[in-house]
Amino acid sequence: MAPKESSTKLWGGRFTGSLDPIMTQYNESIYFDRIFYSQDIRGSIAYARANIKTGILTQHEFSEIERGLKAVYKEWESNTFEIKSGVDEDIHTANERRLGEIIGKEISGKLHTGRSRNDQVATDMRLWLKEQLDRLEGYLVDFLKVIAARAEKEIEALMPGYTHLQRAQPIRWSHWMLMYGSFFASDLQRLRELKVRVNKCPLGCGALAGNPFDIDREAMAEELGFDGLIMNSLAGVADRDFVVETMQWGSMLMMHMSRWAEDLIIYSSGEFHFVQLADAYSTGSSLMPQKKNPDSLELLRGKSGRVFGQMAGLMMSVKGIPSTYNKDLQESVEPMLDHVKTVGDSLQIATGVLSTLTIDTDAMLASLTPDMLATDLADYLVRKGVPFRETHHISGQVVALAEQKKKPMDQLSFEELQGVDRRFEKNIIEVFDYSKSVEMRSAKGGTSKKAVLEQIEAVKKALEGGV
């Protein structure tokens, strides 16, 4: 006689009836949490090894469990593991079920002693996430290296700087890139801080109250590569802050990515033509043959909304649940998986875009106009001892005069300028020099060549350090 469905479940002894088939499907997570197969097996081996010292397992029993779990791992790796729908509720159930088939249930049934899927899944998620955060750090470092390299190579290129999307003052193209370099360097620092908090071990916390067999949690944590323990067993199984914080970090990075993409979308338009994307990161129109669309950048901008939504959705799922573990926490897995993939893909696309785009220095220079030097005109008089509030007004009068005369400011005659203020001297014409303007902004953080080179070094230094 076939066993009842409930008897095949890890939790089935209490139940006499069967689950509604829709509830079975609604409840199971195996089709997405199977991604943790490697971490789950590593955690199980570490847990079994620690249970030799507790007396739960003999050396022979541990060896059999380790042998069986390695065989299960090979099946996952070779894509031959057969998931049994309705039986394999999650990755933990699936691995333990298959282990029992390989080595027998008499030994495999001892593996779960003192352990709960509550601390098991938290361990799996942390192990998986810390590996993924290392990978994301590598992608972000590569992106920042490209920013620094292009900023150094193209430091002579000048372009308009904008506020309110209105042309404001001349800046270096490199200075614009390093604005985002600064943002992304801060994201790198935050990522490294996040990794420290993710890298804590919950294994051995049990269902909520801890392990009754005095298992050596430090030994398990060390074997699994964790830096320390979560010291409260209730927190160990209840905590999904590490997932929320990952999504908060990813959302901030993607916020910066979206702004970066928006700038480049604007700069690549025909009205600007500052940059041109490589064909590898563009698409055409099905109707208009002349079109070259910056789809890569538009997708980066759009994906930011996706990751923001995942973060907000998980926070709404977690905010109202009571302590400690509740099944609501299962909702942390799928968004985490997609979030990490989306951020990783986005960083790789952004690196490709920036590595291959070309800049049109002539178009950038042609977009500079003499009125963008109005502040330099005011600064000229400041250096003669005139209060800035007065010079600002005088410069504004010069702008108005140029508009009235319908000619650029640098084409006003010396007599016309003196008609605005007698303190203008013959050398006033030297103000109307875009290269000189950017070089005057020499204080740290400015757009002079020296200041920009210092910013490049700051980005390079950020790549070197840890937290």
**Domain residue limits, the chain:** 24-108, 117-366, 370-446
CA 8, 12, 17, 19: dihedral to nearest 10 degrees?
A: -70
The three-class DSSP label of residue 169 is strand
What is residue 3's predicted lDDT score, i.e. its pLDDT? 44
What distance in Å separates the CA atoms of residue 63 and residue 56, rounded to the nearest whole number? 13
List the CATH code of the domain at 370-446.
1.10.40.30
3-state helix, strand, coil in the chain (%, to 5): 65, 5, 30
Residues in the chain: 467
What is residue 198's predicted lDDT score, i.e. its pLDDT? 98
φ and ψ at residue 216, rounded to 5 degrees: -85, 95
In one-letter notation, the amino acid at residue 375 is T
Q: Are 102 and 72 in contact (CB under 8 A)?
A: yes
What is residue 4's predicted lDDT score, i.e. its pLDDT? 47
What is residue 10's predicted lDDT score, i.e. its pLDDT? 56
The verdict on whether 164 is a catalytic residue reads yes
Q: Which residue has the tokens 């000229």?
A: 380
Q: Are 173 and 263 in contact (CB under 8 A)?
A: no
Query: Per the residue annotation, which of 285, 323, 413, 435 is the catalytic one?
Result: 285
Task: Report residue 50 as tokens.
Answer: 């620690």
Task: Report residue 401 as tokens.
Answer: 């005069």
List the CATH code of the domain at 117-366.
1.20.200.10
What distance in Å separates the CA atoms of residue 6 and residue 262, rounded to the nearest whole number? 54
What is residue 86's predicted lDDT score, i.e. its pLDDT? 86
Contacts of residue 163, defined as CB under 8 A and 6 or more positions apart, other chains included, come to none
Q: Where are the beta strands (DSSP E) in 150-229?
A: 158-163, 166-172, 200-201, 228-229
Class of domain 24-108: mainly alpha
What is residue 70's predicted lDDT score, i.e. its pLDDT? 98
What distance in Å separates the CA atoms of residue 126 and residue 198, rounded to the nearest whole number? 6
Comparing C-alpha atoms, which of 252, 257, 358 is closest to residue 299? 257
Alpha helices in 54-116 (DSSP H): 59-77, 91-103, 105-108
The verdict on whether 251 is a catalytic residue reads no
What distance in Å separates the CA atoms of residue 148 and residue 178, rounded to the nearest whole number? 7
Q: Are 165 and 367 in contact (CB under 8 A)?
A: no
What distance in Å separates the CA atoms of residue 448 and residue 441, rounded to the nearest whole number? 5
The greatest distance separating any two alpha carbons of the chain, rounded to the nearest whole angstrom, comes to 109
The three-class DSSP label of residue 19 is coil
What is residue 292's predicted lDDT score, i.e. its pLDDT? 85
pTM, rounded to two decimals: 0.92
* Cα 447 off chain centre by: 28
Distances, alpha carbon 181 to alpha carbons 146, 189, 258, 421, 455, in Å: 10, 12, 14, 42, 9
- Averaged pLDDT in 10-residue chunks for the chain of 467 residues: 49 58 83 97 98 98 98 98 94 98 98 97 98 98 98 98 97 98 98 98 98 98 98 98 98 98 97 96 73 92 97 97 96 97 98 98 97 94 94 94 94 94 94 97 97 98 79
What distance in Å separates the CA atoms of residue 295 and residue 293, rounded to the nearest whole number? 6
The three-class DSSP label of residue 247 is helix
- Number of H helices and E strands in the chain, helices first, is 19, 6
Q: Where are the beta strands (DSSP E) in 256-319?
A: 275-276
Task: Report residue 363 as tokens.
Answer: 């178009």
Eight-state DSSP code of residue 281: G
